[in-house]
Amino acid sequence: MLICPNCSLDVSNSSSLPCDACQKPLHLKCIGLSENDVKWTRSKSKAVKVVCSNCNNNISQFKDLKSTIAALQNEIATSVTNLRADFEAKLNDLQISINNKQSDRFEDIVTEVTERQNRKQNLIMFGVDEQQVELDQVHSSERDQSSVKDILKCINPSFDDDNIKIQRLGRRSDTKARPIKIILRNDLEVLSFIKNAKTLRNSPEHKKVSISFDKTPRQIDYYKQVKNDMIIRLNNGETNLRIRHVNGIPKIVKSLN
């Protein structure tokens, strides 16, 4: 028995037309058309379809689903577009930040190189007694000048000490002598004095005096780091370690003594 899906009645003895979707027979009266009407309509357009109420509901739901999917696709496409724009903006900001940091880094390097170049003909001398009773600037400078020349002559008796310039660094202290900056003629003289400074240990008068390069703050921090590393290694059992300047850079080396 064939049942019309629209009216749920038998269509065995009635004129019917199959549903184009599910192929179940439909009473012509259920769709409000005669057989001739259907034939004439289909002859004019093959796109005309006859469907039962169930299939029509399914088609409507399918269309709604397609609309929902289309809306979701549009929403996803919009989100992707926004995410891409946000990503590109952040990437651009990151690139700008990197470029700025590289520029700052380059400026730091140039500044450091320039500062080291300006300091390369200077010596810093420590442990030179400073008159605790404040003298006038001229007498104080003359006294320091005389002391510095004596110490330099102790290291290198043939040194020509004319026209050297000196300057006490920092604020005066009641408990500690300030270091003295000595401006020599060139960096070769600086290297020569640094190399031979150990002769001061054999001088009872100057054995508490020490000299070093005129270091930038970065060099001082790096030297402290190297010194701390050496202390850690010594505490871990290594022996005969000392710091040696190689091409002006402090390095931890094994002492042969």
Q: Where are the domains of the chain?
A: 1-51, 64-119, 120-214, 215-257
Residues 91-140: tens digit of each pLDDT: 888 888 888 787 778 888 888 999 999 999 999 999 998 876 555 666 77
Q: Which residues, at least 6 apart from 207, have a Cβ–Cβ distance to it below 8 Å?
A: 200, 201
pTM above 0.85, yes or no: no
Cα 171 from Cα 178, distance rounded (Å): 7
**Mean pLDDT computed over 180-200:** 92
- CA-to-CA distance for 108 and 5, rounded, in angstroms? 86
Cα-Cα-Cα-Cα dihedral of 122, 125, 130, 136, to 10°? -10
Which numeric CATH code is attached to 1-51? Answer: 3.30.40.10
Residue 241: predicted pLDDT: 92
- pLDDT, mean of residues 163-173: 89
Instruction: Examine domains 1-51 and 120-214 and report if their fold is the same.
Output: no
Q: What is the pLDDT of residue 59?
A: 66
Fold of 120-214: Alpha-Beta Plaits (3.30.70)
Question: Which of these ranges, 127-141, 156-170, 232-246, has the smallest mean pLDDT?
Answer: 127-141
Q: Give the closest residue to 143 by CA, choosing from 177, 135, 18.
A: 135
Ramachandran region, residue 33 (left: φ > 0; alpha: ψ -120 to 50; beta: rest): beta
Q: What is the pLDDT of residue 26?
A: 76
